Every structure is written in C-alpha cells, then in structure tokens.
Amino acid sequence: MELATVTAAAAGTWKLGDLEVNRLGFGAMRLTGNGMRGNSDGAPIDRELAIGILRSAVEHGVNHIDTAAFYFSPLRSANELINRALAPYSDGLVIVTKVGPGRDPSGEWLSMTRPEQLRGQVEENLRQLGRDHLDVVNLRWGRWTGGLSIAEHFGALAELREAGLVRHLGLSGVTPEHLSDAQAIAPVVCVQNSYSLDRRLADANGLLESCRQQDIAFVPFFAISGQRREAPADDTHDDRLHEVARAQSATPAQVRLAWTLHRGPNVLAIPGTSNPAHLAENIAAGALRLSQADMSRLDALT
C-alpha cells in the first residue's frame, strides 16, 4: 500500500447531523505532549512540527478533528495549535470539541462543571479556536460526575445550541441510559467513548448497537492504545493480530483501526499522533478491507 496515495476518504463518510465527514479523523490531544490526566513523560513535540502534522492531516482528507480546551500542557494548547495551523478554516472542516471537566491554568483538574458554567467553557473554545460557533460539542461525562443527572447539563448545552453558539451536540463517556436521557432533550449526533479490540464495554452494554439503530455516530477513542489509554500504544500484540497484519501488509496499529471502522458504517475513528509517519499510516488504515474471516479472528481476541 502506497501511504502517500491514500486519503482519509478511503474510509468512507458519515454525517454528524448535517455535517459530512470522512470516517477517519484526527485527535489533537497527543500534540500537546500531555494526556487528559497529565501523564506525559516528556516535553511536547516541536510546535512547527505539530502545526505541520495538522496541515498534513487536512491535506490528506481529514475533515474531522477532535479537540478540547482542556487538552493542554505547560507548553502547548491543542486549540491554539489548530487555530494556528488551519485558520481561516476551510469549508467542510468539522472541529469537534468537548466540555464538562475543567482544569485550572496550572493543569489541575477541577470538580465537575455546573450546568451554568458550560457557557463559559463553550466560549473558551470559541476564543481559542477563533470561531463564531462550534460545529459539535460533546458533553464529557464519567465517573467524576458522581450521582449527578445528565439531563440538567445537557439541557444547558441544548440552550446554547438554540442560541446559535453550537451547531450539534454529542456525548462522551456515557452509558445507554445517559444517551436515552439526552435524546429526550435534544438530538445527539455522536457518542465518543473508549473502545478498542481489548476494551469493548460498548458491545457488552448495548451502547454501540443503540447508536447503530439510531444512526448516531459512534466515535471510539483509544482505538489503538486500548487499555493503555493516554500512554503510547504497546508494541507487543497477540499472534493472531500479527497474522492478520502480515496478510494485509499492514502494521498491528493499522489493523486495530481497520477493525474499528469495520464495526459498522456509523463507527468513526480519531487516532492521534505526534509522529508524521504514524499519521500517514493511520490515514492509510482507512483503505484496509478486512475479510469476515479476519474480523472473526480479531473478534476472538480479548
């Protein structure tokens, strides 16, 4: 496979509301040199290299970029890098951000944002990205929300959507019950959860199937790193994964991405990287076509 000749369009397309995107996108978190939990082992990559990676991604057909105002390290902000690299933004480029958790300027995590504070988080993303509205905003939920109801927070975002600050709404880190509660308030165009070959909670709890039935985009994060989360992907893999990769003349990471995209036409991928070579490989993974035998072999991995 000639990496330079493959674009993100090879993965096919899906719509986030009325916004059509290629199913192979890009996650900007790794460009900051810092995971959400602040667990980076070193300094971020050179700023101009990060800007070059973003521009290269778009030049090769990526039109779905995932980011957040809380993706930052002492030296880098994902939103600032996106603004510097890609503004003025081309028509058709969809930038998806998220709100809910917050970090203070030193990077320390704050308690869960109150519903009335979500407008400030949306406006922070608008300022950093240099936009007059946000294409898609995901409400990031999770264990830090405790016993809170998602309805009040999602309702506050629905009001911002009505006000024109946000075009579409999504969810992140949720259960099928959260999705149902949110859908009763306003349309949900995407659900972004951790999902990979070795982490398939969305299969077990029915979330992936629920998204499929409702034509909602399911957008896995950590599709390559799996249980390692923000840490670099492991370079050791199951022998069966290696066998599929060799048969496809691909890397194990590419097969992981291809498996993700083969989980359904509504399943997208947003792999992030700070390595230009890995960017090309990730985009090329969208062109891999796995057989049913390949999928069965991969599905059997745990």
Question: Catalytic residue numbers?
Answer: 71
CB-based contact 261:10 (threshold 8 Å): no
Residue 223 has phi, psi (to 5 degrees) of -65, -30
Q: First CA to last CA across the chain, in angstroms?
A: 28
Beta strands in 18-145 (DSSP E): 19-22, 26-27, 64-66, 94-99, 134-140
Distance of alpha carbon 154 from alpha carbon 24, whole angstroms: 27
Q: How far is CA 241 from CA 18, 228, 232, 233, 251, in A?
A: 36, 17, 18, 14, 9
Which residues sit opposite 109 in a β-bridge? 103
Distance between alpha carbon 44 and the CA centroid of its chain, in Å? 20
* Phi, psi angle pair for 120, to nearest 5°: -60, -40
In degrees, to the nearest 5, what angle opens at C-alpha 241 toward C-alphas 237 and 246?
110
Which residues have a Cβ under 8 Å from the Cβ of 94 and sit 6 or more positions away?
16, 19, 21, 63, 64, 65, 135, 136
